[in-house]
Amino acid sequence: MEYLPNILFAVILLIGIGYFAKNVKKLIRNIKLGHDVNVSDNKSERLRNMTLIAFGQSKMVRRPIAGLLHVVVYIGFIVINLEVLEIIIDGLFGTHRIGLSVFPPSVYGVFIGIFELLAVLVFIAVIVFWIRRNVIKLARFWKSEMTSWPKNDANFILYFEMILMLFFLVMNATDVHFQSLNSGNVVSQHIAGWFEGTSESALHTIERAAWWLHIVGIFIFLNYLYFSKHLHILLAFPNTYFGKLTPKGQFNNLEAVTKEVKMMMDPNLDPFAAPADGSETDVPAKFGASDVQDLSWVQLLNAYTCTECGRCTSECPANQTGKKLSPRKIMMDTRDRLEEVGKNIDANNGEFKDDGKQLLDDYITREELWACTSCNACVEACPVSIDPLSIIMDMRRYLVMEQSAAPMELNNMMTNIENNGAPWPYNQMDRLNWKNE
């Protein structure tokens, strides 16, 4: 019975980490459903972007209030969770505050004092976030795509963070031995007054309860991430590393189309001849994208990384003028469809069974796609280097090249370019008339 708490802790630890690892494996599998792209270039620039954007939060602070609050929560969680290492060691080996055996009480007190101050700052920041979202009701948090689950998910995370910080402070406040050191209890000493007159055995029970609830809460939080928009806590780092490095206004060309155009321009080349090297011609099965499997794995990583903060949508000129397009919804729909495809694969022994649905039309409408002005404002606004525009353009490419389903005005323009070499309906002999358009 003496080792029962340690065994119970080990079981909880294994279950928590095991379930998390299972979901991470599923996450990687889903992301790899996208086609491959080469993003191994410019490693130094990619590392720099990850350091500045993910670690340094450089794009978050462009909006000072939200940025500062986010930095506080970000730093607080990273630093405070260092104590999780001590809790895990204590839980496995039956020790109590093993850090006091490693560091002098004064040094240990400095660490815990910093943790307690950060816990209070995180608690305050989270309350402000909750007020901004639920009382002030900032417009970007209440767009049409923010249905019950996205709104509830955001609030659940805020409640989680407040409760975890509270358990941490109560755990310290009711630890009689720690309070007797009078070192590091910069905040908890004031909370300890709430328990004045409580017996030492009762304090020990409260301390143990807070300790267990704190660490179990962390394991629950860790495994909740997979189902939450807060997956960006983990994915922001690879996402910023693999982010787009080319100029923001530069679009990619399909290699197969480029080859075809070059062949058309070479009068000495037989377009029907096999390649001289004996290789097969590289013709894509589909131009553009109609479903998540047609996107690249980087685009699918983007979808899972979306924080649903709405900065992209609040900057989108199409959305501001009342059109249905919301770049945030594009990313949320892509992630939701990808999750649906993943569940389909799980239910069919690792194989995808056609469900009669796709990203285009069933999730993202054509009206949304054609509302985009391709101005790149959403890409610039995203704090974690997500590129909704690339998904929009790939789906447009599918509509034009596979279905010839562009809007009438665009079809007319392309027909004029094909026939007249210009967007306007004038014969090439009447080139001087173009200047008046």
**Could you tell me if 341 and 290 are in contact, meaning their C-beta atoms sit under 8 angstroms apart?**
no
Range 330-354 average pLDDT: 96
Which of 202-206, 208-212, 268-272 has the weakest average pLDDT? 268-272
Chain segment 71-120, per-residue pLDDT in tens: 999 999 889 888 899 999 999 999 999 999 999 999 999 999 999 999 99
Q: Which of 405, 404, 338 is nearest to 365 (CA)?
A: 405
Phi and psi at 253, nearest 5°, equal -105, 145
Q: What pLDDT is attached to residue 34?
A: 96
Give CA 274 to chain center in angstroms: 44
- Choice between 315 and 410, residue whose per-residue pLDDT is larger: 315
Q: Give residue 72's pLDDT.
A: 94
Tell me the pTM.
0.90
pLDDT of the residue at 162: 96
The mean per-residue pLDDT over the stretch 215-227 comes to 95
Say yes or no to pLDDT of 276 above 70: no
Give residue 121's pLDDT band: very low, low, confident or very high (50, 70, 90). very high
What is the DSSP secondary-structure string of 190-212?
Answer: HHHGGGTT--HHHHHHHHHHHHH
- Give the per-residue pLDDT at 12: 97
pLDDT value of position 425: 80
How much is the pLDDT for 279? 53
Average pLDDT over residues 377-402: 95
The dihedral built from the CA positions of residue 242, 245, 246 and 248, taken in this order, carries a sign that is: positive
341 three-class SS = helix
Average pLDDT over residues 158-172: 96
Q: Which carries the bigger pLDDT value, residue 278 or residue 117?
A: 117
**CA-CA distance, 302 to 242, in Å (whole number)?**
10
Residues above pLDDT 70, as percent of the chain: 95
Looking at residue 17, its pLDDT comes to 97
* pLDDT score of 429: 73
pLDDT at 52: 95
Whole-number mean pLDDT of the chain?
91
Phi, psi of 123 (to 5 degrees): -60, -45
Express each pLDDT in 21-74 by its tens digit: 999 999 999 999 999 999 999 999 999 999 999 999 999 999 999 999 999 999
Q: pLDDT-based confidence at 437, cuts 50/70/90?
A: low
- What pLDDT does residue 278 have? 53
Both tokens assigned to 306 = 């979306």
Name the least confident of 51-60, 78-87, 205-214, 275-284: 275-284
Average pLDDT (250-257) is 81
Predicted local confidence at residue 273, as pLDDT = 62
- Number of Cβ within 10 Å of residue 22's Cβ equals 12
Confidence at residue 434, expressed as pLDDT on a 0 to 100 scale = 60
Residue carrying the six token digits 């009711």: 174
> Which residues, including other chains, have CB under 8 Å from residue 229's CB and lie 6 or more apart?
150, 153, 154, 306, 307, 308
- pLDDT tens sequence across 405-415: 989 888 888 88
Three-state DSSP class for residue 296: strand
C-beta separation of 107 from 68 below 8 A: no
CATH for 255-271+283-402? 1.10.1060
The residue with greater pLDDT, 216 or 77, is 216
